């Protein structure tokens, strides 16, 4: 699974990209896995939108395939 972090999520993650060899995961499991060991990112993730292969995740139980591209988008001011 290829992860791309944007704006404040990238700042919290300390990187703009990451790869997870695991999958599939639910969206909730993915958020937990991404935030594990990084308190700043763990605090930001609940406020972020996840895009899986370009489509927003609306359900924490949605399965994210291991082959997915995931964009982590924090709330943006002004738009």
How do the domains of the chain map onto residue ranges? 2-73
Residues 6+ positions from 17 with CB-CB distance below 8 Å: 2, 3, 4, 5
Q: Which CATH superfamily is domain 2-73 in?
A: Beta-grasp domain (3.10.20.30)
Nearest to 74 by CA among 21, 16, 1: 16
Strand partners, 52: 55, 70
pLDDT at 32: 95
How far is residue 27's CA from residue 23's CA, in Å, rounded to a whole number?
Answer: 11
Is-above-0.95 flag for pTM?
no
pLDDT at 75: 83
Tens-digit pLDDT profile for residues 11-65: 999 999 999 987 899 999 999 999 999 999 999 999 999 999 999 999 999 999 9
pLDDT at 79: 47
């Amino acid at each position: 699974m290829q992860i791309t972090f944007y704006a404040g999520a990238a700042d919290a993650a300390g990187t703009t990209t990451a790869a997870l060899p695991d999958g599939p995961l639910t969206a909730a499991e993915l958020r937990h896995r991404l935030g594990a060991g990084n308190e700043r990112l763990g605090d930001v993730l609940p406020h972020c939108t996840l895009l899986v292969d370009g489509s927003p995740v609306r359900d924490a139980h949605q399965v994210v395939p291991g082959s997915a591209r995931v964009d982590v988008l924090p709330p943006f001011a002004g738009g």
